[in-house]
A = this chain, B = another copy of it.
Amino acid sequence: MKHPSARPLPDASPDCRPPRRRRKEARPSELTAAALALFVEKGFAATRLEDIAARAGVSKGTLYLYFESKEALFKTVIEEGMVAALAAAEQRLSDFQGSAAELLQQLLFGWWEQIGRTPMAGVTKLIACESSNFPEVAQYYHDRVRSRGRALLRTTLQRGVGSGEFRPVDLETTIDVIMAPLLMLAIARFSPGFCSLGTTPESYLQTHFELLVNGLRRSSGALAKPPTGDRQ
């Protein structure tokens, strides 16, 4: 039972509710962080704005001081995450020297350190799950983030093939195959039961890397053809 206007005195219960604070600067990032966590956990549609606000320690009204709508908040969350991911990726790109295998290893583990193990990995799951509800966002991700990540791998593979360290491969398809375990790792972190690893992410990546480098080495024997060659 709740009194409509009970106890109008300012400090009704001594320290029940912490005092209101004015922190205009800090709110937006706190709100997007809370939103990212909840969107990733529950999905966009199933997440209540009041829960986001509560997690950020403000009321729902405050949220609307900083974001026009739920959708605008979502887009900001994704945008921020992508910017962070891009910055991380570009940084380690440019001036690395060493074998193609070493560069590949740098890329895989660097991705994990700077994106995979941070909250930014949640953006990956969000794109995967919500892309058909937000085509523009998906397009943006595809054009900017994904293509840049692919470019890094492409350069690496080309260097390896050019130097004879790797055998010739179909570049684009190989890139897809290399990225898949990374994307799955990002998704698995937020999908309990779906793909829980038996080991640590680090040894998972290491196994991926070893299989990969071994698989890319110049091989002697020919490989089998696909079993159903008559598929269109």
Question: Are A105 and B214 also in contact (CB < 8 A) when A42-B132, A128-B194 are?
Answer: no
Query: What 0/1 pattern do residues 169 to 207 of A give for CB contact below 8 A with B?
Result: 110111011011101110100111111111100111111
Whether A227 sits at the interface, judged by CB under 8 Å, is yes
A217 smallest CB distance to B (angstroms): 7
Whether A219 sits at the interface, judged by CB under 8 Å, is yes
Q: A45 touches which one: B43, B132, B187, B199 (CB < 8 A)?
A: B43
Whether A16 sits at the interface, judged by CB under 8 Å, is no
Q: Is the CB of B176 within 8 A of A198?
A: yes
User: Which one of A58-66, A73-81, A82-90, A135-143 is at the interface?
Assistant: A135-143
Whether A93 sits at the interface, judged by CB under 8 Å, is no
Nearest chain B residue, comparing its CB with the CB of A216: B211
User: How many angstroms between the C-alpha atoms of A154 and B100 in the bound complex?
Assistant: 31
Nearest chain B residue, comparing its CB with the CB of A99: B224
Q: Is the CB of B173 within 8 A of A207?
A: yes
Q: A207 touches which one: B42, B139, B169, B197 (CB < 8 A)?
A: B169
Chain A interface extent, by class? 35 or more
Q: Is the CB of B211 within 8 A of A105?
A: no
Give residues of chain A (213-231) contacting chain B, Cβ–Cβ below 8 Å.
213-217, 219, 223-224, 226-228, 231
A70 smallest CB distance to B (angstroms): 12
Question: How many copies altogether?
Answer: 2
Whether A50 sits at the interface, judged by CB under 8 Å, is no
Q: Is the CB of B130 within 8 A of A43?
A: yes
Q: Which of A135, A187, A197 has the most CB of B within 10 A?
A: A187
> What 3 pairs across the A-B complex have the smallest Cβ distances?
A215-B215, A138-B193, A211-B215
25 contacts between A and B (CB under 8 A): A42-B132, A43-B45, A45-B45, A46-B133, A105-B226, A109-B226, A109-B227, A125-B129, A131-B193, A131-B194, A132-B190, A138-B192, A169-B207, A170-B199, A172-B198, A173-B203, A176-B181, A176-B195, A177-B204, A180-B195, A180-B208, A202-B226, A212-B215, A213-B224, A217-B219
